[in-house]
Amino acid sequence: MCGIVGYVGSRECTEVLLNSLSKLEYRGYDSAGIAVFENNVIKTQKSKGKIADLIAKMENEGRLEGHCGIGHTRWATHGEPSDINSHPHGNANVTIVHNGIIENYKKIKEFLERKGYVFESQTDTETAAKLLDYFYEGNPIAAIQRVLDEIEGSYALGIMFKDYPDRIYAVRKDSPLIVAVGDNESFIASDVPAVLQYTKKYYLLEQDEIAVLDKNGVEFYDDHGAPIKKELLTADFDMEAAEKGGFAHFMLKEIHEQPTAVRTTITPRISDGMPNLEECGMTYERLKNYNNIFVVACGTAMHAGLVGKYVIEKIARVPVTVDVASEFRYRDPILTDKDLVILVSQSGETADTLEALRLAKRNGADTLSIVNVKGSSIARDSDMVLYTHAGPEISVASTKAYMVQLSVFYLIAFSIAYAHGKISMEECKRLVAELQNVPNVIEEILKTPDSCQYVASQLVNSENLLYIGRGLDYALSMEGSLKLKEISYIHSESYAAGELKHGTISLVTNGMPVIAVATQRNLFDKTVSNVKEVKARGAYVILVTHKCKTVDSDAADCVISLPTIDDLLMPMTAVVPLQLIAYYTSVLRGNDVDKPRNLAKSVTVE
């Protein structure tokens, strides 16, 4: 989604804005622009396309020179990607950059048109800019407050007023924004990596708080205009964590970071060999009280929830319902104060997941979030939070975040099972030890990517693909399929292996690739029977299974054999070849692996 940056200080502003924007490219965008105070006049430069296109334009037109400015990468919602629709928007008096959606922009636009304003873009943002201009009578904070009273929806805004050429104003609601400070310089940004090359010190801007930045520092005001003090935070990762570190792509680097990410996530939550989630108040006693568990999330995070469901239900025998957040919100779910709703989100800012959390709270359920980004909205709004410690995930396609989400679900499942007396302490310790061994097994798998590279070379010209599996393998197939389609652009479906013959098998034609995941040994023979059904119809079968399993030579064209661990934990290791297959296929197709088309990293619109 859109990225916002802003700078005021003694450095050359255009340079800082471009550097910072380039660190937000991973969020996904289709145009970019900046506004800079040049000789006390607000000047903008913007362009459809990538930051490189903006830079090319600057080379023709000349760079804006100044020490105070705002910048933006736009992920189009209202109006196609174009120079005109790119941010910043406004006029000579007030100029803004915006992330989010102004839901009532049409009404505001009609009002402003009646007042004589003329609009040039199709964006909702331009209405907010012109409304600010309309309300502005010399006091920026008063004008911002008037605008906040009128606009509905989500927003993070970076604002410049002509009369204050050495200041940036910022405000947000339901879209993230941080305010960072260095030596005689201040910044705004959608995310910490944007400013890490300049400073690690930052503030989290809360709902409807207003920040006023100049080179000497920042002042904050609440929504009534009263000054407030805020806690200065320090980023717990550095530039290196946000750089590729020798890997060709962030996705590959992040796949390789998975063993460390799992260790960092689980180690502090294991004491005396037992899972311990008390850091967030999740005691065994509390865990015993829930009648139902709901897992609500989007995309890959929801797929992690599906694995969580299988594992919790299997060993703890507590019913778990998994919902896509955008469906959960509107299906009027039956929730009580005896229910636990688990929200899963890497970014902690996904709009639908955040709203699902608010719905769960309104209905009296306990809420627990599994979140990667510290201090994000979902983490702050939920009753309990278990942070995953994956470090920044830059690639749009989520890999290490999924992995650590799984690891937290295992700890939750073991804890609930033990709390309910469904497993003994001995069995619980055995499972925890298996989980602790998973990072070593992933390291082993990562040493030999050749079979995944080979599979990618077989898939590269395919138009369609099927992933099949049963039980946990079906949950995993969904993630494998999503990973492949989002970065390779090959159409793929995941299907419950036993369900194929009820319709979908008619799609299977000669040479169509089918990736069968068969890591659950009690279901192995059943899945292999389904594999034979597609093989008999000409499918090219890739089978992912345990090393210890013997596969008939006529069952699969290619077998990816994985070290044998407890079946329950196999999703954590079996997902690695699926991630690698997607990665190498995307590379072979010449795609932009880390920034796939049309996608955004942090989905802050509904």
Interface ranges with ligand F6R (CB under 6 A): 298-301, 345-347, 350, 353, 397-398, 482, 486, 602-603
Tokens of 463: 């138009």
To the nearest whole angstrom, how small is the minimum distance from the Cβ of residue 599 to ligand F6R? 8
Q: Report the residue number whose CB is nearest to ligand F6R.
A: 299
Closer residue to ligand F6R (CB): 482 or 555: 482
* Coil, helix or strand at residue 470: coil
To the nearest whole angstrom, how small is the minimum distance from the Cβ of residue 348 to ligand F6R? 7
244 is annotated as an active-site residue: no
* 76, 30 contact by CB (below 8 A): yes
Q: Determine what percent of the chain falls in helix, strand and coil, rounding each to the nearest 5.
A: 40, 25, 35
To the nearest whole angstrom, how small is the minimum distance from the Cβ of residue 497 to ligand F6R? 23
* 407, 435 contact by CB (below 8 A): yes
Closer residue to ligand F6R (CB): 186 or 398: 398
* 204, 228 contact by CB (below 8 A): no
Distance between CA 220 and CA 206 in Å, rounded?
Answer: 10
Number of alpha helices (DSSP H) and beta strands (DSSP E) in the chain: 18, 27
Closer residue to ligand F6R (CB): 204 or 298: 298
Closer residue to ligand F6R (CB): 43 or 380: 380
To the nearest whole angstrom, how small is the minimum distance from the Cβ of residue 84 to ligand F6R? 29
The residue with tokens 């030999």 is: 448
The residue from 2, 13, 68, 298 that is catalytic is 2
* Alpha helices (H) along 420-545: 425-447, 450-459, 472-488, 524-535
288 is annotated as an active-site residue: no
* Coil, helix or strand at residue 226: coil
Closer residue to ligand F6R (CB): 151 or 302: 302
* 249, 593 contact by CB (below 8 A): yes
* Coil, helix or strand at residue 51: helix
To the nearest whole angstrom, how small is the minimum distance from the Cβ of residue 353 to ligand F6R? 5
Closer residue to ligand F6R (CB): 14 or 346: 346
Query: How many Cβ atoms sit within 10 Å of the Cβ of residue 445?
Result: 21
The dihedral formed by the CA atoms of 233, 237, 239 and 242, expressed in degrees to the nearest 10: -120
Helix 258-266 to helix 400-419 angle, to the nearest 10 degrees? 30
To the nearest whole angstrom, how small is the minimum distance from the Cβ of residue 90 to ligand F6R? 30
Distance between CA 15 and CA 488 in Å, rounded?
Answer: 33
Residues noted as catalytic? 2, 601
